[in-house]
Amino acid sequence: MPTTTRRNHRETKSAPSPAAEARELLDEHNVHEMTHDLTEYLTNYARQNPGTAALTCIGIGFVLGWKLKPW
């Protein structure tokens, strides 16, 4: 039996919609849970290290403001 390549397999299947691909990706990686975990971690870090968190936010704001200025 001949082996099929990944490209040939994709060509024979009907192409899923981008929304279906996005849902599949979200389900596969459980992005909601990962986002919640990251938010919880950053919140706890900011409570334990308020000075570092404030300086980090100021630095990020400065760099973004500098790079995204309209002129």
User: pLDDT tens across 7-48, in order?
Assistant: 555 555 667 788 888 777 777 667 778 888 999 999 999 999
Answer whether 0.75 is exceeded by the pTM. no
- List the Cα angle 14/15/16 in 5-degree steps: 115
Q: Is residue 6 part of a domain?
A: no
The domain of 38 spans 18-67
Task: Say whether pLDDT at 69 is over 80.
Answer: yes
Q: Is residue 37 part of a domain?
A: yes
How many domains are there within the chain?
1
Going by C-alpha positions, the residue among 7, 5, 6, 24 that lies closest to residue 16 is 24
Cα–Cα dist 47/8, whole Å: 53
Q: Is residue 13 part of a domain?
A: no
